[in-house]
Structure 1
Amino acid sequence: MVSIKDVAKLSGVSVTTVSRVLNNRGYIGKETRLKVEDAMKQLDYQPNQIARALLKSQSHVIGVIVPDLSHPLFSELIHWIETYASEKNYKLLLCSSLQDKEKELNYISMLRQNRVDGIIMCSHTLEVEAYRNVGMPIVSFDRILSPEIPYVAGDNYRGGELATQHLIDKGCKKILHISGPLQYELLANRRNDASQLTCMKQGVSWDYMEGAHVKATFQDNWAFIEEKISAMLTEYDGVFCSNDIMAYALYTYAKEHGINVPEQLKIIGYDNHSFTRMLQHPRLTTIKQPIDAIGKNLCSSLIDQIEQEGKEIPRNTVLDVRLVEGETT
């Protein structure tokens, strides 16, 4: 195995000089740096990242915990987080909790043992105290974990308002909102608040139903529709879905059961992620979250905490959303 001593010998400098080049510390002349870098290439020298992390107390690795990697929103979000992290010379260690408390706890423990510099938390199944005790910089997506932990989110209240008002403007008189799990302190639940208040202000009848623990697959959303809302679907003329996969499953279910969309039933989703953008028919009406900007802000918020230790915690970031009108309303 090639060692730092081999690099020093080939480049004709001391081990200390090689170490300075590796850690970018102290003044190193351009010619000396090039000699060391050339020797490393010739020898295919790979620095021991764990040892360097112990020495510098920084690993340049970020942990990311998501609830479900198969969900298009999170897979696209990871893409943008990784893109920005790479620009800042950070790598990702990715975990999928599957909404399981024990898995989430184990992943947090594993990330701490692997000395990541911080965690981007996109999952939330634990009590607030568990996140406070992480003992490293942390930022959350769309979740309030603690007043001390900053979050990044799309404007969920505005999204709920836009979606519901659009259904009302299209003539809907009785609206159903299929929400996410309301027992958690999720910012996405502001969509439900906004939907109810918008209907009340406009004098429109409304109901809501939790789509809690519904997985990301089309089949699971279809099963939820069959079991929970199929018997009463014709009571509504508008449905605001918690995500686009649910909206598409509902459109397909309605079509197969003789309910015309949008003539009899208008459907609007949420996210406008890669899955939605690939659909040619129908083009879903949905609320677009700025997934690229969310990923960048999550990453920059965490790196600010890592690299400016002891300074003020970054503020919460709420980003604009917008209505994308398709063929389902």
Structure 2
Amino acid sequence: MDGISIIICCYNSVTRISPTLQHLASQRTCNQLSWEVLLIDNASTDNTAQTAIQLWESFNSKIPLRIINEPRPGLSFARETGLQDSHYNIAIFVDDDNWLKEDYIQIAYNTINANKGIGILGGRVEAACEIEPPAWFEKSKAHYVIGEPYSQTGDVTEDRATIYGAGMVINKAAWKKLKASGYKSQLSDRKGSQLSSGGDVELCFALKMLGYRIYYHKDLVLKHFLPKARLSWNYLEKLFPGFALAEIYLNCFQYFYSNSYSEDNYKHTIYKEFRKKVCDKLFNQKRNLVYLYLKGVPEGNRHFLYLKFYVVQLKFLMLHKKTFYAYLNYLNSFKKQISESTGR
């Protein structure tokens, strides 16, 4: 059906969900636009669902709210369940700490309908910090999904082809075609309190490989609430291992999009190239590497964070070669299926 489904994925969201729902209830849309709110309760152990129902009723919104349980922990699982159970042809991913600007839904609907080739649409994200952010935050805000990733509205498929997962708008026809092609996410994003990443970018790359466009609109704006606990150097450090592992998988996706591998030993060729790049980066910084292991990461020093990043990557490549090869096999099979079904 024509309309928009808002998919909110929640894990123990009692303390965060109220302003998120309030901003949804305050959306300004034309009377002809049908939309719904789906709250995916992703293995919560608190009263998230009951609290959300009570809050939504208190806002006197005419828009329906549905609660759907997803017992498998993981943001990607929750989002997939939301897409499967949603009623409308456009979906928007909203995290439990995302506050959409009042015209977000209408702009998303208008943009997708004016550009039928769009697979994914996204916008910019502003920070709503509980406390004054530390001095290092401005240079590291992208790691918190904060910022304006592109300078102007338009097609970014041939640029970085990535959109923030917060507020991501999905063309469900594209998603259904992707699922029919055999696509299965290999990056599950966060699981409960575990910090991992990459599922959003993986979806962008997969739809790009399928032939859909990735689009950015600067007037799609939301605020991302950052509590005091996240505005610490220790928290940022904990994010980086997930970033490091995700980059390995996502770089593989980029390789397969840009290249064809016909030789039997293509996996070994890619593996050696990846390992060499990481080793070169670490070798050039060997003095800092010694300091890193003796002293840890100095607060505010992003240079040392990236040293730790490359150490994580090298450990993975050395200790999990079979896992790396298995992912390459999956990508090779996925690309062949797309080629056979689309002729691309």
Quickly name the TM-score band, shorter chain normalised: under 0.3
TM-score by length of 1: 0.27
